[in-house]
Structure 1
Amino acid sequence: MEISLILTALISGGFIGAVLGFIGAGGAMVSVPILLYLFDFTPINATTAALAVVFLAAISGLAPKFKSGDVLVKEALTIWALGLLTNIGLGLIVTKIPDRVILIGFSLVLLGAAYSMIKSPVKAQPEKKMPVWALLLLSLLIGALTGLFGIGGGFLAIPILVLFFHTPQNKAAGTSLLIIALNCLTAFIAKFAIWDQINWRYPLIIALAAIVVARVASKLAAQTPTVHLKRGFALLLLCIACFTILTQT
């Protein structure tokens, strides 16, 4: 392994862990481009390896959240279970979808995620709960995002938790990590057929760095204002999305 790529993997893993620990979402949205553009992975290999990286980082970030009581297990299991159909189903057929379609679709998701992070925060006590059909629809959408693009869906899970379950923002972020971990593990297992096609050396280094940083960032998140972090991250997602779309057109 080249020293420069090892250092790149360590820095990338630290960034991914910080994003997951502080924001509670977005790890896969940067993992996939990192593997694509810095390590020359194919789209399907990048989305699969990203699932493993983000799963391990999310698990690491969960430990402090469980200790502080900021993880709602029942709600996380509900959203994960409702999205199983699209998560597993699309994960099994994603190898038949052209790379260009996956990349453009991934870019559109990044644009949506950037918008959700830039707009004003969702109020913790809305006047109405989200109807059951909307919860089902959004859970299926989160499952689809994981199955197709290797994205855990945290940027959607957090507003769902706040709107439907009246969850405080800190608990929504912690519960989002559990949803991300469950979704990523499910989609990763569904893609077992291509595990042997992936060079796991650099994703492993990325994952180790992400695990360490996610644990630290998760502990600090409760005392750290995340408004500016989210806006900066949204700008990064916007740049990545525009770059990816330009390279595919």
Structure 2
Amino acid sequence: METVLLGLAVGLAVGAVVGLVGAGGAIIAVPALVYVVGLEPNEAVPTSLIVVGLASVAGALPRLRRDVSWPLVLLIAIPGIPASWAGTAVGQLLDPDWLMLCFALVMILAGARMLASAGNGRPGARSAEQGGWGGLALRGIPVGLLVGFLTGMLGVGGGFLIIPALTLLLRVPMPRAIGTSLVIIAVNSASGFAAHLDGLSIDWTLALSFAAVAVAASLAAARLAHRLNEALVSRIFAAVIFTVAAGVLVQTVPHLLPGQAAAAPADPPAAGASLASSRLSFGERSLNVLVENHTSEDLVISAAQLESGAYSGPAPWTPADGDATTLRPGGRVALPVNLPEAACGERETDFDAHVRLTLGTGRELVLPAEDPYGTVAQAHGQDCLQQEVDAVASFALVPDLEVAADGRTAVVRIRVTPSGGSGSVRVRIDSTTLLSKAPERPWPREVAVEAADEASVIELQAVPARCDAHGLAEDKAGTRFPLEVEVAGARSGQLRLEPPPEFTAAVYGFVRSACSLR
């Protein structure tokens, strides 16, 4: 909700500027969406194109009959397409700071010329529109090429460049320049949005609410602009230009001063680390630390540990046979670490982690641990849920499996031992890949347990979930019963009951017998 409200405020400002001066939308919208609303650039750009395009259309509507030069729209927009490609290619070769400095200088020059124009009170020369198609093409096409090139090179919307070109180079009156600029911006926005359709990522609620406010503000500002004289609109436009140019200079000039050169790139890290888990290792409360050698020499790892504020201490790895592990250049190794007790509490948990390697030379290497799948957060959540459930009651599978005389059904027993303290938990027991509910004896839909209850046993009559010899041979979790638990006033989620070895062996024997498998 807060994001949408910020978007509405930004949309109001963008629409007002677009409707009043016929420009300024994209250069205001993109930074505002990134720095004020908090969008990522890949979302801000297409969102801005929607908003600025619709606001430009709205601002142009009241001006279509008398304030749009359609020949200039044609002559500036079409040549600007290939010119913008050329400008983009040149811009990619320039240092970003110098590129932005060029942008600021162009804005200052345009603002100064607009103020000079406002002081004169009239264009001061014959408009290019009065010279017929030949005169328009002779002066309009070069303007389109120049505007397209600078737009592509500087990476900004064309409104800031189009209006000065129309008023100063082609001597188009300000109201007509604004209307013509709005149509050109709408065309460019539609073209730019089409280029972003592949892999489009947009918050449509934000975009549409943003656009609705911008359109309304643009329509209101367009009507207001007709009541203002050209000199005042020129001064407003110049003020917007100077404001943007000042902001660019503040951000750019310090980077270009002597002694502010960018530091030399740091040497690449000797190794990289990331985290992963499997269904089996996760049930055993261990994670895999994946270490990759980025050097051209062997890395000899004699010890390692995973460190994170989410746990009470480090999670160590030591070689199973006591020998160090040698990691070849470009190679990767998985180091399993056993997780200590989770640090559960009301404070916000930091899930960032790093890996500390002890090399054969005695040197330590500390690496940030990439965790793209949220492995630490997931493991921490499971551990804290288990702690909260254990504070109410413990659940354990009884090792013995009671098989019926006909060998087709069996009774699974879960022993419930309340803690004797306070609190309650609700439990729903699900089937596994090997065992499911017997049709004639459904399992309890939900079991409520109080910490002050007496010890009890839950009985589940089960049948084989499938008769598949291959599935039985490859089984990893078929005897781990999943519990959907909800602790009163605390967490909820899924836990798995870890089976004793005797129970696992009994289940395998039961499934083979019931399914007539060898």
Please give the range of the TM-score, normalised by the shorter of the 2 chains: 0.7 to 0.9
Q: Which amino acid aligns with 2:214?
A: A
Q: In the aligned structure 1, how far is the partner of 2:104 from the partner of 2:50?
A: 20
Contact 2:21 2:233 (8 Å CA) reproduced: yes
Select which of 24, 27, 43 maps to 2:25: 27
User: 1:247 and 1:36, CA in 2 relative to 1: closer, same or farther beyond 3 A?
Assistant: farther
1:121 aligns with 2:117: yes
Q: In the aligned structure 2, how far is the partner of 1:157 from the partner of 1:235?
A: 16
Who is 2:34 aligned against?
36
User: 1:65 and 1:104, CA in 2 relative to 1: closer, same or farther beyond 3 A?
Assistant: farther
Q: Could you give the per-residue CA deviations for residues 93-140 of structure 1, whole angstroms, max 9, x where no partner exists?
A: 8xxx69x83x87456425522441243127524379699676444423
Who is 1:59 aligned against?
57
SS in 2 for 1:192: coil
Shift of 1:183: 1.4
1:177 aligns with 2:173: no
Larger radius of gyration: 2
User: 1:233 and 1:165, CA in 2 relative to 1: closer, same or farther beyond 3 A?
Assistant: closer
Q: Which amino acid aligns with 1:181?
A: A
Q: In the aligned structure 2, how far is the partner of 1:114 from the partner of 1:190?
A: 31
Who is 2:244 aligned against?
237
Who is 2:211 aligned against?
207
Who is 2:147 aligned against?
142
1:156 aligns with 2:161: yes
User: 1:77 and 1:174, CA in 2 relative to 1: closer, same or farther beyond 3 A?
Assistant: same
Q: Could you give the per-residue CA deviations for residues 54-96 of structure 1, whole angstroms, max 9, x where no partner exists?
A: 11100010111114x11111211210011121346778x8xxx
Aligned length: 241
Q: Could you give the per-residue CA deviations for residues 26-71 of structure 1, whole angstroms, max 9, x where no partner exists?
A: 111111211221133444543333222111100010111114x111
Please, what TM-score do these two structures have when normalized by structure 2?
0.41
Q: In the aligned structure 2, how far is the partner of 1:133 from the partner of 1:151?
A: 25
Which has more helix, going by share of residues? Answer: 1
User: 1:24 and 1:43, CA in 2 relative to 1: closer, same or farther beyond 3 A?
Assistant: same
Contact 1:146 1:184 (8 Å CA) reproduced: no
Q: In the aligned structure 2, how far is the partner of 1:135 from the partner of 1:214?
A: 27
Paired-residue identity, %: 28
Q: In the aligned structure 1, how far is the partner of 2:109 from the partner of 2:6?
A: 28
Shift of 1:167: 1.9
Shift of 1:7: 2.3
Q: In the aligned structure 2, how far is the partner of 1:66 from the partner of 1:170?
A: 11
Select which of 108, 112, 115 maps to 2:106: 112
Shift of 1:11: 1.4
Q: Which amino acid aligns with 2:233?
A: T
Shift of 1:243: 4.5
Contact 2:23 2:160 (8 Å CA) reproduced: yes
Select which of 63, 72, 76 maps to 1:75: 72
SS in 2 for 1:70: coil
Q: Which amino acid aligns with 1:113?
A: M
CA RMSD of aligned residues (A): 3.4
Q: In the aligned structure 1, how far is the partner of 2:187 from the partner of 2:227?
A: 26
Who is 2:16 aligned against?
18
User: 1:176 and 1:64, CA in 2 relative to 1: closer, same or farther beyond 3 A?
Assistant: same
Unpaired segments of 5 or more residues in structure 2?
A: 129-134, 257-518
Contact 1:28 1:54 (8 Å CA) reproduced: yes
Who is 2:407 aligned against?
none
Shift of 1:177: 0.7
Shift of 1:17: 0.9
Contact 1:151 1:184 (8 Å CA) reproduced: no
Please, what TM-score do these two structures have when normalized by structure 1?
0.78
Q: Which amino acid aligns with 1:206?
A: F
Using the TM superposition, name which of 127-136 and 233-242 deviates more: 127-136
SS in 2 for 1:121: helix
Select which of 168, 173, 186 maps to 1:168: 173
User: 1:143 and 1:189, CA in 2 relative to 1: closer, same or farther beyond 3 A?
Assistant: farther
User: 1:234 and 1:11, CA in 2 relative to 1: closer, same or farther beyond 3 A?
Assistant: same
Unpaired segments of 5 or more residues in structure 1?
A: none
The structure, 1 or 2, with the larger RCO (C-alpha pairs under 8 Å, 6+ apart) is 1
SS in 1 for 2:157: coil
Contact 1:62 1:177 (8 Å CA) reproduced: yes
Q: In the aligned structure 2, how far is the partner of 1:10 from the partner of 1:239?
A: 25
Contact 1:104 1:244 (8 Å CA) reproduced: no
Q: Could you give the per-residue CA deviations for residues 189-245 of structure 1, whole angstroms, max 9, x where no partner exists?
A: 12322423x444433322221100001100110212224422431342134313443
